[in-house]
Structure 1
């Protein structure tokens, strides 16, 4: 059963499905039909790394946010386009990150979310 958390950035709330194990992290939003406003997927890698996000098998564009262990946004990729299953191009942060949030394309610009903003996490039971 999927677990969810509420991600809050500057008062903007996103209901994010948790990708907390290798299988859910490797699948991500792959093969899904879309992502509605106010929803997303949160990856917690437990350690600060340079997590790579690939768009193979995606059917829609997304915004991607990387945040460090202090929950400060360190990088944002806007309106990242889907790729074929054979396209191995990846997106990554220029700084180490523990968390990655995938959200609807355009939501970061629409809500004026920027690098160094803080994310707040609350588990939804």
Structure 2
């Protein structure tokens, strides 16, 4: 099991970070799931934009560059919405809405362990 840690503060942000790195897993993402457990997230790689079509709950999305630095945060994305395209982003991490509030800021370096 992978964890997501803020390298600046040392705080564990997500206890269970799942990975979507195949075409099918990236396409499916969190669509159709009724929810995800607290402290769980999904890393979609490569990715620089997300949509919430066919989602059943709101999510927070952090966009990270090739150096694992946060370059954009899309908070509380509602079902049916679309994020902007973040050109510098190489991948994203999705989690329950409000999960990243106060724990992650633009410029933070994150680690996956």
Give the shorter-chain TM-score range. 0.7 to 0.9
3-state SS in 2 of match to 1:52? coil
Aligned counterpart in structure 2 of residue 74 of structure 1, from 71, 77, 86: 71
- Provide TM-score, normalisation by structure 2: 0.87
- 1:13 aligned partner: 13
Whether 1:115 aligns to 2:106 is yes
Inter-partner Cα distance in structure 2 for 1:74 and 1:68: 7
3-state SS in 2 of match to 1:8? strand
Which has the larger share of strand? Answer: 1
3-state SS in 1 of match to 2:24? helix
Whether 1:38 aligns to 2:39 is yes
Q: Deviations over 1:11-54 (max 9, x none)?
A: 12311110011110011000001122210100121xxx6x2201
Structure 2 residue runs of 5 or longer lacking an equivalent are none
- Provide TM-score, normalisation by structure 1: 0.79
Structure 1 residue runs of 5 or longer lacking an equivalent are 84-88
Computing the radius of gyration from Cα coordinates, the structure with the larger value is 1
Q: After the TM superposition, which parts of structure 1 deviate over 6 Å for at least 4 consecutive aligned residues?
A: none
Q: Deviations over 1:86-108 (max 9, x none)?
A: xxx52134441112000110011
Contact 2:13 2:103 in 1 (8 A): no
